[in-house]
Structure 1
Amino acid sequence: MVRVLNAQLLMAVDRVRQRPFPQWSVGALGAMILSSGLLATSGCKDLIPPRPPIGQPAAETEQIERGETAESETVAETDPSPQESFEGDWGAWYVHRFGSQVVGVTEIKADAVIDGIDFAAATEARYSRRERMIFRTGNASFVRRITLTSVESVDGALRSFSSDVHAGPISSSARGTRNQQKLTVTTTGEGGQKSNQLDWPAKTRGLFALEQTLRRRGIETGQTRRLSVLMPSLQSIGVIELRCTGAASVPMLSGSYRTLREVDVATFQDGQQVDSLVVWIDDQGVIEKSLHLGLRLESFRTDRVTAGDLFDQPDDGKVAFSVAGSLRRDADPTEVAYVVVDASRSQDRPESEAGSKADPAAAEFIPAVAGQSVRERGDGVHVLVSTQRKAPAGFQQDRSVVLPIDTAATEIIDTGHASVIRMAGAIGELPVGDLAQELARLVQNDLALIPQGDLRPASAIVRSGQGGAIDHAILITALLRARQIPARVVFGLSRSRTDGTSAGGPSAGDRLRMNLDAWVVASIDGEWISIDPISSRINRADQIGLSRPAGDADLSRELAKVFRRLAEIEIEIRGASYGAD
């Protein structure tokens, strides 16, 4: 199993919470995340092993490229920038390694843009980067995906860029357009759309500045070069400083050594160094390896096939969660007892408040929904999920009442759309319980299962004929409402069939993999039942609901809230019963 990056190092939670898009390093590789708190280089000497000098060191010289910015004045003298011409079409694949484990992959491309009408010489170049990187936050792990495109003049002047970031179920984008001496940046995320204008001094470079300058001009031993660049936050201008220290014998991904030129790269913001990177280049200025000192993250140039073999994540839209304990893989449980702990919540709640009676506060933290009942205890919230909807004394059951919105249309659950009504009418009149299950089977049979993307209206899911697990839940909910069966979407964790536990029973120290998921709850003859959107099973016990949004809630926003909560909670399986027990 691929090991994931520690979120305390990467600070993924802060980025997801505080920014509409994560940061990435200037030009080099998306894996290199900027943080002023990650500059310590102690402990990295094992990644840059001692090696004999190769050749004689040259006298240090400076080459300075700058705009009229306060940042560049703190580290560079005024000096005109030499002209750089487009380096030609190229492409490169990189794998990112943390310790001995590959945790990500990046593809970078550069192409000349040819006028398709006049077939004139290229005046623009298009750069693109696609990155996938595994992040871990608490017991949750997910693949962050970045797609970045930059259109520039052939001499390196930024004209426009676009950035799309997906971190679990959270998506954001940024668009930038330069007009003379101004750069307008528009970001779109959970907080809506925002625009900002930056002063854009002459000679300022874009997000691929490092690759460009090394491939176009190279750098010789002893040289220092400074570039005024757009910072990865897309909100300010900074400076990167390149200093070539000479030839070095460098360990590569295959275990062999190559003689490459070593270049130290420092990034400055407001006169303060905020990032540190080492890159090793060949004679053509191609980056063959890089090392982010603060993160201890190595990146190696490779080919597409090797990158795909080393980083195999077929469904990178999933969010996985590690649970203490395990379940049998050869049988479906009829009851599972969980304990859920939120450290921040426990600190705020006195021990005396955790009594033996059913506690409404427990249901506010973990909902009592369908076959799931809850109670508060000193060691956390006890959750019992039963296929038979059993609730022992002291547990709070699902007592929620049906509301008019539970059969009404919303923006996502557009139950009144003609395509949804038509699909719902494909099943004839049946007892309400049988009808609910047949509608779920209809979706299961008619909808191809694909990796989950951004949430879409039910009608769009019908038209596409395919969708992720959450799409299945949305469509089933819409069909049920179209037949006047009250229904809602629930978000929580479901057991993954690739959880890695042993068949036949748990073993000491096992952990269970669960996935962030969604399913449907429907009111049948006055009682709420849960319906699994993929298997159509009723009242699964190997899942735990974390949120039951209101019938008219913004589902994308509610899903993002659940995703963030995963960083704060721990879940343990205390026991399970099976049909033959």
Structure 2
Amino acid sequence: MLRLLCLTVGLRFTPTLSFAPRARCATRKTGCIAGWMLGMVLLSGCDIPERVPLVPPADQYRSADEAGVGEPGRGAAASSGEQVARDDAKPEDRKYRGDFEAWDAYFVGDKHVGYSHITVAAHDDADRRDTKQPHVELNIEDCLLIHRGPASAFVQRHSHQSSETVDGQLQHYKSHLSVGPVITTCEGTVDEAALSVVKSRGAAVTTHRLSWSDQHRGLMAVEESIRRSPLSIGQKRTFQTLAPVQPLVTTVRLHCVARATVPLIDGKPHELLEIDVETDLGENRKNYHVIWAEPDGTIRRALYPASNLVTYRTDEKVAVKDIESQQDAIAIASTLTRSTLERPSETKRVGFKLVRTASPLAAEKSIIQPQPNQFVRNLDDTSVLVLVSRLGEAPKNGFEQGSFAVTDSDRKPNAIIDSSETMVRRIAQAAGGSGKLGESELAIELARSANRLTQLNPASGAFQRASEVARTAQGDATAYAVLLAALLRAKQIPSRVAFGFRYQATPTPRMVYHAWTLAHVDGDWLSLDATTGGIAAADRLTVSTSNLSHHDIGTAMMPVLDFLGACEIEIVASATRY
């Protein structure tokens, strides 16, 4: 369960998962203890919030197996009765007990918001067959739909693969976290008494070296500890484990406090052991959550009060029910619109009205800024009119158009837009032909070339270098934009990448995350879209632009996430031709 800490690691905002108000309700056979804070948000010095109601989700999410859900655990059965408390885990708590697979369904109130898939399996170590010792591979795949307000949402995906000895000692791990368009990867290797960690976001790479011992555990330590050596009432267990995504060793304290009767996803009450989990991140930062497990160590349910998130152990069918279709609709990140736009790919002039809602943005901060080809007018009621035009218009009637001068960083190669790389230069040279094209014509031809040579793959993942996109010939919208920016610079045309939202008609009208390219030609910035192979339609809102010369990709992408939940969007005017 500690894996859910990854939700806001490295980000400067706190996503909202709340769909229902909190309340107090818990049924127990013995005693009553305080609530907990969630391990999803790195809180510090806060009061412990009240628990959410222990109410199962709607009937339609019940498993077909009414008798129970999930696989039985393989841990040794716990002895009955009260046990003498112990402060530290024993070696037997860590030993491998056989292959294991589980699915969890994530709920906030009665809303199904995600799932998790866990696998643990032993494998022969091909490089060390003389030892006759297998290694254990642990894999986690998470998908969570994060809602910010009633109309905006983004998808968080987290994958973690780690290798351990059969005694539970971490050898190597790799984590990949995507929060909307922001992607962070971590890879760590245990070497003698240290854990070497490489953390990447875009072209920014940082290395860390942590003190490490044989007693430290990996990311699945909480689940594996309870499953491999079940707790009984009164028992405590303390160990140190790796935090997800960030290079940090945390202290985890487990306390089996009581028996509790709680409903599971099948809607029926179940008698389970209740285990409090405290995760100490140091510097007075602590997270809390609670787990309910069978006496044999099988975890059935967990509660993260800080976000009202409840997880239920279930089967694959129930865990993924409707989630795939929902995330396809959300795309990477999106916000609904109040009205529709006809023939969006042909539009050359579109008006948007942005009405501020309760949002994470500071009240004095503008919802959106003027940009090249994007005119903004602030109204007295704090709403904003935005006119996106491809008609070469001048600002009037109180509208402002953004403009920025060309800099050396718009011309030169960098770690992401590596325009000097051989493959990029060859593509640019071939697209340029005889060199008789004007600047605008050449820029459009480069957009066509990027479109023809690249296959759209929305699931391509990490923020790729232009040279990598050129070699693999596939990528998402961001990859297309980066490749085109590099092709332009290879032909001495200044370029930037624009990040924002583009209109999508199906299944519900909404603005979805998109990236495209700005080319400085004929004395002005021209909006190009390599995913369509030409001049970008006016069906989009530019939230930020960047020449990507800085190392922290998050700086360019964060405004996109800040925009979500900040306003309601209404399309007020459009024109498909002059």
- Tell me the TM-score normalised to structure 1 length: 0.74
Instruction: Look up the SS of the partner of 1:426 in the other structure.
Output: helix
Q: Which amino acid aligns with 2:339?
A: S
Report the CA distance shift for 1:179/1:449 in structure 2 as closer, same or farther (over 3 A).
closer
Match of 2:12 among 1, 13, 17: 17
Match of 2:546 among 535, 546, 549: 549
Greater mean deviation of Cα atoms: 82-91 or 459-468: 82-91
Structure 2 partner of 1:336: 350
Instruction: Look up the SS of the partner of 2:341 in the other structure.
Output: coil
Q: Which amino acid aligns with 1:262?
A: L
How big is the shift at 1:135? 2.2
How big is the shift at 1:448? 0.6
Match of 2:258 among 225, 235, 245: 245
How big is the shift at 1:310? 3.7
Residues 114 and 123, structure 1, Cα contact 8 Å, conserved in 2: yes
- Does residue 441 (structure 1) correspond to residue 464 (structure 2)? The answer is no
Alignment of 1:73-472 (within 5 A): 85-116=95-126, 118=129, 120-122=131-133, 124-137=135-148, 140-176=152-188, 183-184=194-195, 186=197, 188-189=199-200, 193-195=206-208, 197-198=210-211, 200=213, 203=215, 205-220=217-232, 222-230=233-241, 232=243, 235-243=248-256, 245-246=258-259, 248=261, 250-252=263-265, 255-257=266-268, 259=270, 261-267=272-278, 269=280, 274-281=287-294, 284-312=296-324, 318-322=331-335, 325-330=338-343, 332-339=346-353, 347-348=363-364, 366-369=369-372, 371-378=373-380, 379=382, 381-390=384-393, 391-397=395-401, 400=404, 406-427=410-431, 428=433, 429-451=436-458, 452-472=460-480
Report the CA distance shift for 1:89/1:317 in structure 2 as closer, same or farther (over 3 A).
farther
- In 2, the alpha carbon distance for the partners of 1:148 and 1:274 equals 21
Report the CA distance shift for 1:177/1:459 in structure 2 as closer, same or farther (over 3 A).
closer
- In 1, the alpha carbon distance for the partners of 2:391 and 2:205 equals 43
Structure 1 partner of 2:489: 481
Instruction: Look up the SS of the partner of 1:118 in the other structure.
Output: helix
Instruction: Look up the SS of the partner of 1:325 in the other structure.
Output: coil
How big is the shift at 1:490? 1.8
Residues 104 and 319, structure 2, Cα contact 8 Å, conserved in 1: yes
Report the CA distance shift for 1:383/1:158 in structure 2 as closer, same or farther (over 3 A).
same
- In 1, the alpha carbon distance for the partners of 2:39 and 2:287 equals 16
Residues 195 and 211, structure 2, Cα contact 8 Å, conserved in 1: yes
Residues 43 and 286, structure 2, Cα contact 8 Å, conserved in 1: no
Residues 185 and 200, structure 2, Cα contact 8 Å, conserved in 1: yes
Residues 219 and 244, structure 1, Cα contact 8 Å, conserved in 2: no
Q: Which amino acid aligns with 1:516?
A: Y
Structure 1 partner of 2:86: 64
Report the CA distance shift for 1:155/1:435 in structure 2 as closer, same or farther (over 3 A).
closer
- In 2, the alpha carbon distance for the partners of 1:389 and 1:88 equals 67
- In 1, the alpha carbon distance for the partners of 2:363 and 2:285 equals 37
- In 1, the alpha carbon distance for the partners of 2:330 and 2:475 equals 12
Report the CA distance shift for 1:101/1:477 in structure 2 as closer, same or farther (over 3 A).
same
- In 2, the alpha carbon distance for the partners of 1:334 and 1:207 equals 50
- In 1, the alpha carbon distance for the partners of 2:403 and 2:226 equals 65
Greater mean deviation of Cα atoms: 562-571 or 293-302: 562-571
How big is the shift at 1:91? 1.6
Greater mean deviation of Cα atoms: 436-445 or 87-96: 436-445
Instruction: Look up the SS of the partner of 2:468 in the other structure.
Output: helix
Instruction: Look up the SS of the partner of 1:456 in the other structure.
Output: coil
How big is the shift at 1:143? 2.1
Instruction: Look up the SS of the partner of 1:455 in the other structure.
Output: coil
- In 1, the alpha carbon distance for the partners of 2:570 and 2:536 equals 18
- In 2, the alpha carbon distance for the partners of 1:17 and 1:82 equals 40
Q: Deviations over 1:148-185 (max 9, x none)?
A: 334333233444544332222333344555567x5546
How big is the shift at 1:461? 1.0
Greater mean deviation of Cα atoms: 340-349 or 316-325: 340-349
- In 1, the alpha carbon distance for the partners of 2:254 and 2:264 equals 24
Q: Which has more radius of gyration? A: 1
- In 1, the alpha carbon distance for the partners of 2:555 and 2:286 equals 38
Structure 1 partner of 2:522: 525
Instruction: Look up the SS of the partner of 2:400 in the other structure.
Output: coil
Structure 2 partner of 1:576: 573
Q: Which amino acid aligns with 1:153?
A: T
Q: Which amino acid aligns with 2:478?
A: I
Instruction: Look up the SS of the partner of 1:412 in the other structure.
Output: coil
Report the CA distance shift for 1:499/1:523 in structure 2 as closer, same or farther (over 3 A).
farther
How big is the shift at 1:469? 0.7
Structure 1 vs Structure 2: percent identity of aligned residues?
Answer: 24
How big is the shift at 1:87? 0.6
How big is the shift at 1:277? 0.8
Q: Deviations over 1:302-333 (max 9, x none)?
A: 33454344421666995423255323345554
- In 2, the alpha carbon distance for the partners of 1:120 and 1:140 equals 53
- In 2, the alpha carbon distance for the partners of 1:122 and 1:317 equals 45
- Tell me the TM-score normalised to structure 2 length: 0.75
Q: Which amino acid aligns with 2:335?
A: S
Instruction: Look up the SS of the partner of 2:537 in the other structure.
Output: coil
- In 2, the alpha carbon distance for the partners of 1:487 and 1:234 equals 35
Q: Which amino acid aligns with 1:373?
A: F
Q: Deviations over 1:343-399 (max 9, x none)?
A: 8987558xxxxxxxxxxxx8x961330x32234444255421123233334333455
Instruction: Look up the SS of the partner of 2:164 in the other structure.
Output: strand
Instruction: Look up the SS of the partner of 2:535 in the other structure.
Output: coil
Q: Which amino acid aligns with 1:409?
A: P
Report the CA distance shift for 1:329/1:31 in structure 2 as closer, same or farther (over 3 A).
farther
Q: Which amino acid aligns with 2:370?
A: P
